[in-house]
């Protein structure tokens, strides 16, 4: 399958910066609105959300995973904050499904997967639970009445079952009844935990969320990245020593390092630095070092795109190219450009948008294709349909935000 590329709008002048140009900003706003238009069809009238095929029709599978539910809530909350009409109904739809289907009424916490009305994957994963905190925080900022109570309850649950005070990090996974089934520890849940904690701080003003996010960042940015040539190891043992031999699910827990996560974590580090008062003058250069290392290691030298995983020496491991690392690269580069107008950052920012327009963005139907093959064409080896709005939406709104955050205080109106 091959579609015509989307034309990426921005000035040709190489001495200017696209995020300052009205034409590019209008283009970003239009692309964000296309995302909302496409994913409105995700709403399942019987509860929860469909996964959509390339054309925007529901796929047959009725499995609803926790991160999909919560990311839809978060994304449409961003839409409401940006003035997009008719988002509150979708936020409420997701919040009700979260409480009626994912919430475990017997043991507490949230099960990972639900099919129809039946929990079919009852694991209690930190990765999913931090997304509940993100959804609750964004819903509160959008004015949803259940946001405050959900923030309080999920905060208590994260503190009770996941937060390891001695390490200042989140543990990963439990059975449904909170008995352990592994001693795995991982970067990914903590990265999204940082994202959620920052959103909770913005929603509540409670400095404890900002403090916890800073402690997580201290471990991964100031220690792990700095000690590993600005690459961040993904996998750890129970004592939080790096497990370089770990190789789990090749999609969700692949061996080695994941450059897309480095790009995402670098942006979150800048967001925390900004919210904490910009006190550590070394942080922007550390975030830059992480982002530049990921791009230099992982950008395909022949055809472009970002390789999914790397070996510990930075050589490519899994050469598959997905949409979400490109979106995360756009996000961190937009933040770096806001801080310091460097032409090298602008060149990367344009290159990533041009690659996205040529290979991932669907000009005909809307949404982004999640993966491309060796010829740069959409393929479906790992993903069915177009998985979610979350990554691609944020790539369009982060550059538009007036600051390094993306919540109520800095988001512009899209309409």
345-359: pLDDT as tens digits: 999 999 999 999 999
Tell me which of 250 and 264 has the higher pLDDT.
264
Phi-psi domain of 242 (left: phi exceeds 0; alpha: psi -120 through 50; beta: other): beta
350 lies in some domain = yes
How far apart are the C-alpha atoms of 186 and 150, rounded to whole Å?
25
- CB atoms < 10 A from the CB of 23, how many? 11
303 lies in some domain = yes
pLDDT tens per residue across span 291-347: 999 999 999 999 999 999 999 999 999 999 999 999 999 999 999 999 999 999 999
For the chain, what's the residue count? 415
pLDDT (0 to 100) of residue 13:
82
Q: Is the pLDDT of residue 3 over 70?
A: no
Adjacent-strand bridge partners of 309: none
248 lies in some domain = yes
pLDDT tens per residue across span 168-227: 999 999 999 999 999 999 999 999 999 999 999 999 999 999 999 999 999 999 999 999
pLDDT tens per residue across span 24-64: 999 999 999 999 999 999 999 999 999 999 999 999 989 99
For tokens 């790397």, name the residue: 310
Based on DSSP, count helices (H) and strands (E) in the chain, helices before strands: 13, 11
Nearest residue to 404 (alpha-carbon basis) of 334, 344, 342: 334
* Active-site pick, 24, 67, 261, 359: 261
Percent of the chain at pLDDT above 90? 90
pLDDT (0 to 100) of residue 406:
61
405 lies in some domain = no
Total domains present in the chain: 1
* Active-site pick, 144, 235, 391, 406: 391
pTM of this prediction exceeds 0.85: yes
52 lies in some domain = no
Task: Write down the H helix ranges in 218-282.
Answer: 226-227, 259-275
Mean pLDDT, rounded, for 146-165: 98
3-state secondary structure of 387: coil
264 lies in some domain = yes
Q: Is 261 a catalytic residue?
A: yes
pLDDT tens per residue across span 67-104: 999 999 999 999 999 999 999 999 999 999 999 999 99
210 lies in some domain = yes
Q: Where in the sequence is the domain holding 374, given as residue range(s)?
A: 28-37+81-89+149-169+187-397
CA distances from 355 to 5, 195, 318 (A): 9, 26, 19
- Where does the pLDDT of residue 1 fall: very low under 50, low under 70, confident under 90, or very high at 90 and above? very low
Q: Is 144 a catalytic residue?
A: no
Give the CATH number, domain containing residue 338. 1.50.10.10
- Where does the pLDDT of residue 252 fall: very low under 50, low under 70, confident under 90, or very high at 90 and above? confident
Q: Is the pLDDT of residue 129 over 90?
A: yes
Beta strands in 105-162 (DSSP E): 113-115, 118-121, 124-125
Supply 194's token pair.
């940082």
370 lies in some domain = yes
How far apart are the C-alpha atoms of 137 and 202, rounded to whole Å?
8
Find out whether 386 and 369 touch, Cβ atoms under 8 Å.
yes
């Amino acid at each position: 399958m091959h579609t015509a590329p989307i034309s990426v709008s921005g000035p040709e002048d190489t001495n200017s910066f696209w995020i300052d140009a009205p034409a590019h900003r209008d283009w970003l706003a239009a692309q964000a609105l296309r995302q909302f238009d496409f994913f409105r069809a995700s709403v399942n009238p019987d509860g929860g959300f469909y996964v959509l095929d390339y054309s925007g029709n529901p796929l047959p599978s009725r499995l609803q995973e926790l991160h999909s539910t919560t990311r839809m809530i978060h994304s449409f909350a961003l839409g409401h904050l940006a003035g997009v009409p008719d988002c509150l109904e979708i936020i409420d739809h997701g919040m009700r499904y979260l409480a009626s289907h994912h919430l475990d009424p017997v043991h507490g916490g949230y099960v990972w997967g639900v099919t129809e009305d039946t929990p079919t994957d009852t694991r209690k994963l930190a990765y999913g639970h931090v997304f509940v905190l993100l959804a609750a925080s964004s819903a509160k900022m959008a004015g949803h009445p259940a946001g405050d109570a959900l923030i309080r309850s999920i905060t208590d649950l994260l503190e009770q079952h996941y937060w390891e005070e001695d390490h200042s990090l989140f543990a990963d996974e439990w059975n449904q009844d909170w008995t352990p089934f592994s001693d795995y520890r991982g970067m990914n849940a903590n990265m999204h935990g940082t994202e959620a904690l920052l959103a909770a701080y913005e929603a509540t003003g409670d400095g404890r969320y900002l403090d916890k996010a800073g402690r997580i960042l201290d471990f991964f940015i100031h220690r792990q990245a700095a000690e590993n040539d600005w690459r961040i190891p993904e996998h750890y043992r129970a004592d939080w020593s790096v497990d370089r031999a770990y190789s789990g699910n090749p999609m969700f827990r692949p061996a080695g390092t994941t450059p897309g996560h480095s790009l995402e974590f670098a942006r979150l580090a800048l967001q925390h630095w900004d919210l904490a008062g910009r006190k550590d003058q070394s942080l922007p250069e550390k975030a830059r070092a992480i982002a530049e290392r990921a791009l230099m290691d992982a950008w395909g030298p022949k055809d472009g795109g970002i390789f999914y995983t790397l070996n510990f020496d930075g050589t490519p491991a899994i050469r598959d190219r997905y949409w979400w690392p490109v979106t995360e690269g756009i996000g961190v580069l937009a933040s770096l450009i806001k801080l310091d107008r460097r032409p090298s950052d602008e060149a990367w920012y344009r290159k990533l948008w041009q690659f996205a327009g040529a290979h991932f963005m669907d000009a005909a139907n809307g949404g982004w294709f999640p993966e491309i093959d060796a010829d740069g064409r959409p393929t479906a080896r790992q993903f069915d349909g177009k998985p979610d709005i979350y990554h691609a939406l944020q790539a369009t709104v982060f550059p538009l935000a007036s600051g390094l955050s993306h919540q109520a205080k800095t988001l512009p109106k899209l309409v």
